[in-house]
Amino acid sequence: MKAIVAGIDGENVFLDVGLKSEGVMSTAEIRDAGGELTIQPGDTIEVFLLSRRGGEMIFTTRIGSGQASLQELEEAFHSGIPVEGRVTGEIKGGFSVTMAGQRAFCPYSQMDIRRVEDPEDYLDKSFSFRIIEFSNRGRNIIVSARAVLEEQRARQREELQQTLEEGMQVRGTVTSIRDFGAFVDIGGVDGLIPISEMA
C-alpha cells in the first residue's frame, strides 16, 4: 500500500496510511550504505503491513537479511512483501539464494529483466526478491528478482511518462544495438534511436 512519511524520529519512521492510527517502520530500512536517510517527511513510499503490536501497525518495505522464521517468509509469500536475499552460488537452472537464514532458488529467467549473460555478475550480491513459490513447509522456496524489478520499472515509467515532452533532452543507457538503431533505457521507458540519427 502507499504511505506518506509523516515524520522521522530517531529509529522510527511514522507513516500516514490513511487510517485512524499511524504506522511505524524502522529507519534502518530507509538508510543507504553510508547511513544517510533516503526519504524525508512528505515523501510517498510503498509499504507492507508486517504485524500489529497492540494498537500499533508495523510496516516494512521488505524483509531484511537477518534471521526470519519460515512463518514470516510464508507471510511474505502470501502478501507479496519483497525479501532481501544474497546470491550464494550457481546451480542447475539458476541460482542458490540465502534469505533471512533460509535457502531459496532463483531460476535464471527470474534473476533479471534482461537475459542473464554472465552468471558471475550476480554471485555474492544482494537483491530484493519476491517469493513466487513456497511449498513443503519451506523446503521449496522459489524467488524472483525480476518481479521486483518489473514493479520498480512500472512505477518509474508512470512517473517519467507524466514529465516527458516532445523535443525534451533526456539521459539514457544503450541496452542493445540492432541494424536499424539502438534501444535506450531512459529510466523505465525503452526508446529507439534510428540508425540515421546516430551518425
How confident is the model over 146-160, as pLDDT tens digits?
Answer: 999 998 888 777 877
pLDDT at 195 (0 to 100): 84
pLDDT at 11 (0 to 100): 87
The domain tally of the chain equals: 2
Cα dihedral: 78, 37, 128, 2 (round 10): 40
- Is there a domain that residue 186 lies in? no
Query: Structure pTM?
Result: 0.63
Q: Name the strands in the sheet holding 56-60, side by side, starting at the edge strand that comes first in the sequence.
A: 44-46, 2-9, 12-16, 23-26, 56-60, 48-53
In this structure, the answer to whether residues 88 and 53 fall within a common structural domain is no
In this structure, the answer to whether residues 33 and 87 fall within a common structural domain is no
Low-confidence residues of the chain: pLDDT under 70: 64-69, 188, 199
In this structure, the answer to whether residues 27 and 46 fall within a common structural domain is yes
pLDDT at 59 (0 to 100): 81
pLDDT at 92 (0 to 100): 94
Q: Which domain holds residue 39?
A: 2-60
pLDDT at 66 (0 to 100): 57
User: Which three cell numbers, joined as nine digits, stand for 63?
Assistant: 524483509
Give the CATH number for residue 93: 2.40.50.140
In this structure, the answer to whether residues 55 and 88 fall within a common structural domain is no
pLDDT at 18 (0 to 100): 80
In this structure, the answer to whether residues 7 and 76 fall within a common structural domain is no
pLDDT at 68 (0 to 100): 60
Single out the residue of 46, 85, 82, 39 nearest to residue 62, CA to CA: 82
